[in-house]
Structure 1
Amino acid sequence: MLDHMKTLAVVVAQAVVAPFLVLFHRPDPRWSYVEALLQRLLNLVTPTDVGFLRLTYAIYGRFQRHLFFPPLETVDVPAVKGMWYGDASTPPADCAVVVLFVHGGGFVCGTADAMSFDAIRPLLASLRRQGVSAVRVFSVSYDLAPQACYPRQIQQTYDAYRWLLDLGVSPTKIVVMGDSAGGNCALSLLQQGLKDHMPMPACAVLVSPWVDLHMTKPSYDAATDSFTKATVFKWRDVYLNGDSTHATVTAASPGLQSLRGLPSLMVTFGKNELMADDLELFVAKAKASHVNVVAYSHPYLFHDFPTLPLGQPSRDGMDAIGRFIISRATTT
């Protein structure tokens, strides 16, 4: 606890001066003041130790949960844990769309409620504006590293998908959506489902997915993202329990596995993020594998931008996601 207090003091001290520093220096001159400030603030938190980072996400998630209305419905059964969002009066099987949401956090932090206001509420609002209101979102809760390492998180995501099918939700109504590490889980779920001859969902939305854990491309040296190369390597090593052998890293990288047979995909990313090069290659590979893939990139924003409070760029990104979901999941 004392270490956490020291870390908090350092982060707060740096956060106090951050609003003034970004007046004079922005890693990308195209950024607005808000974009530059958020990027700087995120870079104060993401390099901290896993314990402090996890605590920060947990507090942030709890805060969002209490603000969300209507109240969330918690699920805690042997098969799956997580939270339902949306109108609880509509059973999932009767919804027009059911989204299985997998949160990010580098596999070391994050909670099922940490994206309540940043991603899930804007998604529901976007779908509602576009005429689809009978929507439920199930945000799955999975175990975090180092207490649980690869491939535990992927299995829990897979179990959540099977649980939705067992509830009677038609796969043609299901959208699998994940951001960052959650995007890794979402893509891995689809690949495992194909191997097991599971019915595929209508589509998947991958927001800045972590598809290649080797992380060797030039974009990883950029200083324009919400975390650094050193930070994401640290998270990878924790997730893989210290096993950085080529075989293990490749196995944990769904972008390096076969993409043939996957359902329609939407991939969103910012061209200033560390994973940009990997995601450009992933989209090209998906197209070459005859996957119906839509890429939505922002020319100068960073990791997970549609799920961040960045104003119009975030709203535009979420509306694009909403249009994609409606075109795939409500017409099958």
Structure 2
Amino acid sequence: MISWQAKALNLFLKQTVKRSIENTKDVNKLRFQMLALDKFVFGTSANIQHSKLVRAGTLCDEIQLKFSNTKKKLLYVHGGAFVFKTPAIHNNFIARLAEPLDLHAIIPDYPLAPEQPFPAALDCCYDIYQSLLDAGTLPEDIVVAGDSAGGNIALSLLLRAKRNGLPMPSCCVLLSPVADMTQSGMSSVENRYSDALFSLEVMLHCRNWYLGGDNTDLHNDEISPLFGDFTGLPPFMFHVGSTELMRDDSTRLAAFMQAKGVDAHLQIWHQMPHVFPLFEQLPESKAALIQIIDFIKKHLK
């Protein structure tokens, strides 16, 4: 059963945000329209402190418990179709994740397309991951997470880290990751009209902005990490909605990882909108958060 809150959110997204950005070819208009989502937040806990720090040349939002000396880090790569950001809603979710786990969360303000196309965002986030290791953070004390486009970047940076011989983090959590730029999953067709937030046309525009309009190999695993070699990756957890355009990115990632011996957990949520765990008003968001916290506790020693 889907909650009434989720039904209301789906209707709102379809009637306002999706309709207003459908077929848009203006990135600034898209950014303006997506600011509507950034209003769907409540205040964060009084136990949380926010700060900013430059890491590896990139300004990062930093979230952690007040007076905490934890060494455990959460590197969270925010979504936004590679071209926009919603810092309020993302930081609110990350705070709800960091507080019960006593994690020091790091959220890179990575460069956005089309002004800075691929691989600028990936290079930035990879450099920050490497900087954590270089500063003495143990890999088993790091959690990597991301949503949507951020899920693409998070997974791509781990594939690059493996190729370069860097150690893997303790685990990784991805919410509705963009993993297949070829759009070969059946959900790209089946859910073209049921997805509450994005149309296929908007997704293709964002893909082109991210790739800079070049004739790039869409099967490159730093662009479409679905086609990477997952051998040796850490445990993963995926959360995705059943009616999303990108549903099959998660289902195929989980299946391919399991085939390579990776401990991959997949949760498909009935009729949930894209990256629904970010919307704390939803009972389903609270339930997903509990599962994510339990998963991280299991792997973060």
TM-score by length of 1: 0.79
What pairs up with 1:104-123 in 2 under 5 angstroms?
Answer: 104-110=79-85, 114-117=89-92, 119-123=93-97
Shift of 1:167: 3.2
Match of 2:98 among 124, 127, 130: 124
The one of 38, 53, 61 aligned to 1:75: 53
Is the Cα contact below 8 Å between 1:100 and 1:138 reproduced in 2?
yes
Distance 2:157 2:146 in 1: 11
SS of the aligned residue for 2:271 comes to coil
Counterparts in 2 of 1:141-180, with a 5 A limit?
A: 141-180=109-148
Distance 1:30 1:55 in 2: 25
Which structure has the larger Rg over C-alpha atoms?
1
Higher helix share: 1
Identity between Structure 1 and Structure 2 (%): 29
Deviation at 1:54, TM superposition (A): 2.5
Work out which of the residue numbers 38, 42, 66 in structure 1 matches 2:17. 42
Describe the shift of the 1:278–1:248 C-alpha distance in structure 2 as closer, same or farther (beyond 3 A): closer
Distance in 2 (CA, whole Å) between partners of 1:152 and 1:62 is 28
Task: Tell me the equivalent position of 2:236.
Answer: 265
Gaps of 5+ in 2: none
The aligned amino acid for 1:40 is Q
User: What's the Cα RMSD here?
Assistant: 2.7
Taking the aligned partners of 2:240 and 2:291, their CA distance within structure 1 comes to: 12
Are residues 1:213 and 2:184 paired? no
Contact persistence 2:182–2:218 (CA under 8 A): no
Q: What do residues 149-168 of structure 1 show as CA deviations (whole Å, max 9, x unaligned)?
A: 11111111111111222333
Q: Which residue of 2 aligns with 1:102?
A: 77
Q: Which of 194, 197, 200 does residue 224 from structure 1 map onto?
A: 194
Which residue in the other structure is 1:139 paired with? 107
Please identify, of 259-268 and 276-285, the stretch whose mean Cα deviation from structure 2 is larger: 276-285
Residues 55 and 30 (structure 1), Cα distance of their counterparts in 2 relative to 1, 3 Å cut = closer
Structure 1 residues not aligned, in runs of 5+: 1-28
Going from structure 1 to structure 2, the CA distance change for 1:156 and 1:297 (only over 3 Å counts) comes to same
Identify the residue that residue 24 of structure 1 maps to in structure 2: none
> Cα gap change, 1:189/1:115 in structure 2, threshold over 3 Å: closer, same or farther?
same
Q: Which residue of 1 aligns with 2:30?
A: 53
Residue 67 (structure 2) aligns with: 89
Query: Structure 1 255/318 Cα, relative in aligned 2: closer, same or farther at 3 Å?
Result: same
Distance 1:62 1:169 in 2: 35
Give 1:318 shift: 1.2
Kindly report structure 1 stretches of 4+ aligned residues shifted beyond 6 Å: 62-68
Q: Quote how far apart the aligned CAs of 1:113 are.
A: 5.0
- Cα distance in 2 between the residues matched to 1:66 and 1:57: 20
Question: Alpha-carbon deviation of 1:276?
Answer: 1.1
Distance (whole Å) between structure 2 residues aligned to residue 276 and residue 193 of structure 1:
26
Distance between the aligned counterparts of 1:136 and 1:79, measured in 2? 19
Correspondence 1:175-324 to 2 at 5 A: 175-221=143-189, 222=191, 223-225=193-195, 226-245=197-216, 247-251=217-221, 252-324=223-295
Amino acid aligned to 2:262:
V
- Equivalent residue of 1:108, what SS? coil
